A and B are shown apart, each in its own frame.
Chain A
Amino acid sequence: MTIAGPRLSRRMFMASTAAVGFSGLLPHVSFAAEPARGGVLRYATLGLDTADPHRHTGSIAVQQIYAEALTSIAADGSVEPFLAESFDISPDGKTYTFHLRDGVTFHNGDVMVADDVVANIERVKSKVTGGWLASAVKLVDTVSAPDARTVVLSMHEPYAPLANLMSELWIISPKSEGWNETIKTPLGTGPFKFGEWQPKVKLVAPAHTTYWRKGMPYLTAVEADLRDDVDKGLALRAGDLDIAYIKPDIAKQLATDPNFKVSPLKDAAWFFVAFNNRKPRKPFDDPRVRQALSYAIDKNAFMKFAAAGGGVVTNQMVLPGNLYFDQATHDADAHTKANLDKAQALLKEAGVDPAKETIEFVSWQETYPQVIVQMVRKLGFKVNHVALDDIGAQKRLGQYDWDMNCMSSGPRADIFLRYVRLMSDGPNPVLWGGIQDPDLDKLIKAAVAEPALDKRKALYLAAWQRVMEKYYVVVLGLSANQIAMRKVVQGYEPGFTWSPNWGSGGVAQTWLAD
């Protein structure tokens, strides 16, 4: 299997953009007009936690501006070549060969060679303790560079998600300051350089003049606004930002405003209710009680609120149209509407008097969990709702002294990153109640090791069926995160993940109309 990327000529770029087609929302760009050069793009989505791309532990929505990887995720969620112009996977799924692009330079002017890539993979393997990438790279036996433009990875065992995960293994010049400890000033290959960073305030990224995509970037700089308390909707309207991530209700409001364009990320965030699966308390260990609670939930009403009228009600972790979405399972969803009678009957069957039970309910400080709490109260349960900040929730969930939560989880580069949280030894499983199910683990492991897509999909689906049966986690629906842009922003369309820069789109191609 060879996946080759086009050498981007201008025409090819247009073709590839058109091919995205997935959202049906093409950039409102008149390509007859020559992109204007210059200008600073003020961009505000999520934050930046570290200057060391390999050590990132928080959101990754900014560093793609200056750091790029061998692969990237296209708008439809498929993997596409990036710094590698193509890559091959051996039939046993154990050997990956990456063919590097010619003429890629780091921000210090050095040309990127295969040894640089090897050094990056080795660094992640040996130095980095955190992150989902670390556990994947641990499976790598050897990394070698047969020539200056080829990198070969061989694995212990087949590992299907690798190509996707490589989109988050950023290639940084080993000459970057702090390489041996924590990188302070990363020298990447991205269209913009890592300029001045004020944590939680801003990152100023000036253009990389010898960027590998000829003629790009058009902008002189990107200024990423990293403040998370500012009302981005207001800032956008006041003209303080060009591109911003906004809440669904604001998106609804701005969508009717001719000065703005609102467009979703192509992968959606999913909302779910999870039960305490590691140390379940009576009677919430009884699947009938969990089922009853699920019947109390009106998913339609919830999603209408959470996505401000948008969003999709389903019982799976991905949107319809996604490779891993299963229509039959979707159609069989018993919980699209609330059914309080059935819920009461189930409780009776389980011998539970809801008036005598208090549900310990944990959530973040958001409004949507309150909707679920109210629905559950309708059933007659008393609910002790604790809304906590990130750390507080993390701490509390990890104590497993709660019964139920309502959370959401954002876009991921690969479906595996969603399933891995449901595994017994998965990283940070607390949001999903710390499932401990060897059978489920087996199914997911088998899916991961399966190179053939159809079989892999079937295995993942079987795993998901088991999750639904056991009522470990109940998916409420999905809602795409909305990105709003001022009309002057041209050539930008949100991608699959939070990444603002990928092979067939992003800030490198963006320009300002005035």
Chain B
Amino acid sequence: MKFLANAGFDLGRMLIQALGIVVIVFLLARVVPGDVVDLKAIEGDLSASQQQEMRTELGLDQPLIVQFGQWSWRALHGDFGDSIRFGRPVGGMVRTALPVTLVFAGLSFVLALVLAIGIAVGAVMTGSRVLRSLVEIVNIWSIALPTFCIGVVGILIFSVWLHWLPVVGSMLLPILIIGIDGAGQIVKPLYEELREAATSTHVRTAHAKGLSPWRITVRHLLPTAVPVALALSGLVLAGLIAGTLTMEVLFGLPGLGSLMLNAIQGRDYPVIQAAILVTAIGLVVVNALTDLLHRMIDPRLSR
């Protein structure tokens, strides 16, 4: 019961957070100078009165609070309205973009965790110099090298020179890039945590029991690192959103990130809001899941 109450409380807190994000973005998007009508005026040659007419038509001249009220009321009913830039239903645009990002982000996330855990565990288990250097290299790699930079080099080598992969639409390269980048962000703290855990008393006990190193790693060392790994995976997730954005732009992946970026550039408020809402809910769900996982793995929390 207490478990459920805690989970419910956390979920509520995270939902409030998601709502907060949506409100902030709603306001911030409108603080940004210019609106979609300005954009349409550039190539569309709209006179001043035509522009005014269009603003009224799109409801952009109403007070913010009214706009927000209307938008949230409809959003609550699952209606995100039409894109004011393209005149398409926003729901459909998000629906087509979402799977791309989900697959991309999901696979990158898994790759990041597998790589980071693999390298960190390997380095701690074997104490191998190569693997320990790998921890440092991957770490510096992710700090110092912007992903778009690696992406450009990757395109040049694998698409243009070697013709192995298409430039547009292929997910393999971006997943690799973001996966390695994500791994780099967590591999060092993970490694340090594991090394710390390797000297902990219960791991020493496991040694005293004469268990094999493999069993000690899997059953005694790894569970200890679970809370840290989960906390760190939140970090990866946050980085993932930035990473997917640049990768989607660079590789022309029609995902949420490029949808959002285009919408910001085009002041397409309904699309910005819907995309942010979906992202925020996604973050909430993933956070809730990691929390749940943590509670499930650690018996001390499951009461």
Interface string of A32-60 (1 = CB under 8 A from B): 00000000000000000111100111110
Q: Please tell me if A391 contacts chain B, counting CB pairs below 8 Å.
A: yes
Q: Cβ of A332 < 8 Å from any Cβ of B?
A: no
Is A199 a contact partner of B85 (Cβ separation < 8 A)? yes
A225 lies within 8 A of chain B by Cβ = yes
Q: Which residues of B contact A52 (CB under 8 A)?
A: 87
A227, CB-defined interface residue at 8 Å: yes
Query: Which residues A42-100 have CB closer than 8 A to chain B?
Result: 49-52, 55-59
Give the A-B contact count at a CB cut-off of 8 A.
140
Indicate if A18 sits at the interface (CB-CB under 8 A): no
Please indicate the chain A residues that have their CB under 8 angstroms from the CB of B40 in the complex.
49, 57-58, 130
- Could you tell me the distance between the alpha carbons of A389 and B32 in the complex, rounded to whole angstroms? 12
Instruction: Please judge, given known A-B contacts A51-B87, A199-B83, A237-B160, whether A129 and B167 are in contact too, CB under 8 Å.
Output: no
* Closest chain B CB from A433 CB (angstroms): 15
Is the CB of A201 closer than 8 A to any CB of chain B?
Answer: yes
Q: When the two chains form the complex, which single residue of A56, A238, A394 contacts B163, counting CB atoms closer than 8 Å?
A: A238
**Do B33 and A227 touch (CB < 8 A)?**
no
Q: How many residues of B contact A (CB 8 A)?
A: 46
Is A200 touching B262 in the complex (CB atoms < 8 A)? yes
CA distance A464 to B169 in the complex (A): 47
Interface membership of chain B positions 228-261, coded 1 if the CB is closer than 8 angstroms to chain A and 0 otherwise: 0000000000000000000001111010001101
Residues of A close to B250: CB separation below 8 A? 229-230
Min distance, Cβ A75 to any Cβ of chain B, angstroms: 23
Contacts of B291 in A (CB 8 A): none
A239 at the interface (CB under 8 A from B): yes
- Report the separation of the CA atoms of residues A51 and B83 in the bound assembly, to the nearest whole angstrom: 12
- A506 CB-CB contact with B under 8 Å: no
Given contacts A57-B43, A238-B159, A238-B163, contact A50 B87 (CB under 8 A): yes
- Most chain B beta-carbon contacts within 10 A, residue among A129, A238, A240, A394: A238
Indicate if the CB atoms of B167 and A240 lie closer than 8 Å: yes
A231 sits at the interface (CB 8 A) = yes
How close is A242's CB to chain B, nearest CB, in angstroms?
A: 12
Any B CB within 8 A of the CB of A184:
yes
CA distance in complex: A214, B155 (Å): 42
Chain B residue contacts of A240, Cβ below 8 A? 166-169
Given the known interface contacts A197-B88, A235-B252, the answer about A130 and B54 at a Cβ–Cβ threshold of 8 Å is: yes
| Chain A residues within an 8 Å CB radius of B266 | 391
Cβ of B96 under 8 Å from chain A: yes
Is B41 touching A231 in the complex (CB atoms < 8 A)?
A: no
Contact between A184 and B87 (Cβ–Cβ < 8 Å)?
yes
A394 and B39 within 8 A (CB): yes
The answer to whether A230 and B167 touch across the interface, beta carbons within 8 angstroms, is yes
**Given A131-B44, A238-B166, A391-B34, A199:B88 Cβ within 8 A:** yes
Q: Which of A58, A129, A225, A389 touches B168 (beta carbons < 8 Å)? A: A225
Residue in A56, A58, A421 with the greatest tally of chain B CB atoms within 10 Å? A58
A395–B166 Cα gap in the complex (Å)?
Answer: 38
The answer to whether A428 has its CB under 8 Å from any CB of chain B is yes
CB distance from B66 to the nearest CB of A (A): 22
Is the CB–CB distance between B43 and A59 below 8 Å? yes
Neighbouring A residues of B86 by C-beta, 8 Å = 49-51, 199
- For residue B27, CB closer than 8 A to chain A, the reply is no
A182 lies within 8 A of chain B by Cβ: yes
Q: Is the CB of A234 within 8 A of B160?
A: yes
Alpha-carbon distance between A204 and B228 when the two chains are bound, in angstroms = 47
Asked if B265 is at the interface (CB within 8 A of a chain A CB), the reply is: yes
Instruction: Please encode chain B, from 40 to 68, with 1 for each CB lying within 8 Å of some chain A CB and 0 for all others.
Output: 11111111001001100100000000000
* A428:B168 contact, CB within 8 angstroms: no
Pair B159/A198 contact, Cβ less than 8 Å: no
Residues of B within 8 A of A395 (CB): 33-34, 38
**Across-interface contacts of A182 in B (CB, < 8 A):** 87
8 A Cβ contacts from A220-238 to B: 225, 227, 229-231, 234-235, 237-238
Residues on B with C-beta less than 8 A from A241 are 168
List chain B residues, Cβ under 8 A from A131: 44-46
Chain B contacts of A55 at CB under 8 A?
87
Chain A residues in 8 Å Cβ range of B39:
58, 390-391, 394
Q: Mark A242-268, 1 if CB is under 8 A from B, else 0.
A: 000000000000000000000000000
CB pair A230–B88 under 8 Å, yes or no, is no
Let me know if A58 and B160 touch, CB within 8 A. Answer: no
| A4 to B198 Cα, complex, angstroms | 88
Among A49, A58, A234, A398, contact of B155 (Cβ-Cβ < 8 Å): A234
User: Does B125 make an interface contact (CB < 8 A)?
Assistant: no
How many angstroms between the C-alpha atoms of A398 and B35 in the bound complex? 13
A227 to B253, CA, bound (A): 9
Contact across chains for A199 and B33 when beta carbons are under 8 A apart: no
**Which of chain A's residues have a CB closer than 8 A to the CB of B44?**
56-58, 130-131, 428
- In angstroms, Cα B40 to Cα A427, docked, is 12
Residues of chain B with a CB closer than 8 A to A49's CB = 40, 85-86
Q: List the B side residues contacting A394 at CB < 8 Å.
A: 34, 38-39, 41-42
Given contacts A129-B50, A391-B34, A394-B39, contact A198 B45 (CB under 8 A): no
User: B114 → chain A, closest Cβ, in Å?
Assistant: 28
Q: How far is the CA of A391 from the CA of B254 in the complex (A)?
A: 23
Chain A residues with CB below 8 A from B254, complex form: 198, 200-202, 227
B93 contacts the other chain (CB 8 A): yes
Question: Does B293 reach chain A (CB closer than 8 Å)?
Answer: no
In the bound complex, do residue A229 and residue B252 qualify as a contact, i.e. CB atoms below 8 Å apart? yes
Q: Which of B34, B50, B83, B87 contacts A130 (CB 8 A)?
A: B50
Q: What is the bound-complex CA distance between A389 and B39, given in angstroms?
A: 10
The answer for the CA separation of A230 and B254 in the assembled complex, in Å, is: 11
* B267 proximal to A (CB < 8 A): yes
| A58/B265 in contact, CB under 8 A | no
Which residue among B34, B45, B96, B258 has the maximum number of chain A CB atoms within 10 Å of its CB?
Answer: B45
Residues of B within 8 A of A391 (CB): 33-35, 38-39, 265-267
17 A-B pairs in the complex with CB atoms less than 8 angstroms apart = A50-B87, A58-B44, A130-B40, A130-B45, A130-B54, A131-B46, A225-B252, A227-B168, A237-B160, A238-B159, A240-B168, A240-B169, A394-B38, A395-B38, A427-B45, A428-B45, A428-B46
Interface residues of B (CB under 8 A from A): 33-35, 38-47, 50, 53-54, 57, 83, 85-88, 93, 96, 155-156, 159-160, 163, 165-169, 249-252, 254, 258-259, 261-262, 265-267
Question: Lowest 9 A-B CB distances belong to which pairs?
Answer: A57-B44, A427-B45, A391-B34, A57-B40, A230-B252, A201-B254, A238-B159, A199-B86, A238-B167
Known contacts A199-B83, A234-B160, A428-B41; 15 additional CB pairs below 8 A are: A49-B40, A49-B86, A132-B45, A135-B47, A197-B88, A198-B254, A227-B258, A229-B249, A229-B261, A235-B166, A239-B163, A389-B265, A390-B42, A392-B34, A420-B45
